[in-house]
Amino acid sequence: GAGVSQTPSNKVTEKGKYVELRCDPISGHTALYWYRQSLGQGPEFLIYFQGTGAADDSGLPNDRFFAVRPEGSVSTLKIQRTERGDSAVYLCASSLKGQGTEAFFGQGTRLTVV
């Protein structure tokens, strides 16, 4: 595709449920980032992949959050036992090589936990 694609665009789930958010990066981009953004705040870093491996997962808030990128392309952010505080827009970005190269963002997935 032409850009970074995130699905679903909106997700409403009940407290305690499990959710998966998908990111399709730009083809050929080795770096992939996940961010979380609350209203009025800047994007908060969650995790960064270089290829298939997580180069930095220091932003994951707790062990309920997990992300994978098994083939170095599509990535899935997984949230277990969702809480109302997890409600936010989850943004994915990819870049050709990582730091130093332009990052392209998707439109985000708006997650609402009720």
Partner 1 sequence: LAKTTQPISMDSYEGQEVNITCSHNNIATNDYITWYQQFPSQGPRFIIQGYKTKVTNEVASLFIPADRKSSTLSLPRVSLSDTAVYYCLVGDMYSSASKIIFGSGTRLSIRP
CB of 42 to partner 1, least distance (A): 4
Contact 47, 33 (CB under 8 A): yes
Restricting to residues 40-69, name those near partner 1 by CB under 8 A: 41-45, 48, 50, 55-56, 58-59
Binding characters for partner 1, 64-93, by CB under 8 A (x = yes): ---------------------------x-x
Q: Which of 31, 60, 77, 79 binds partner 1 (CB under 8 A)?
A: 31
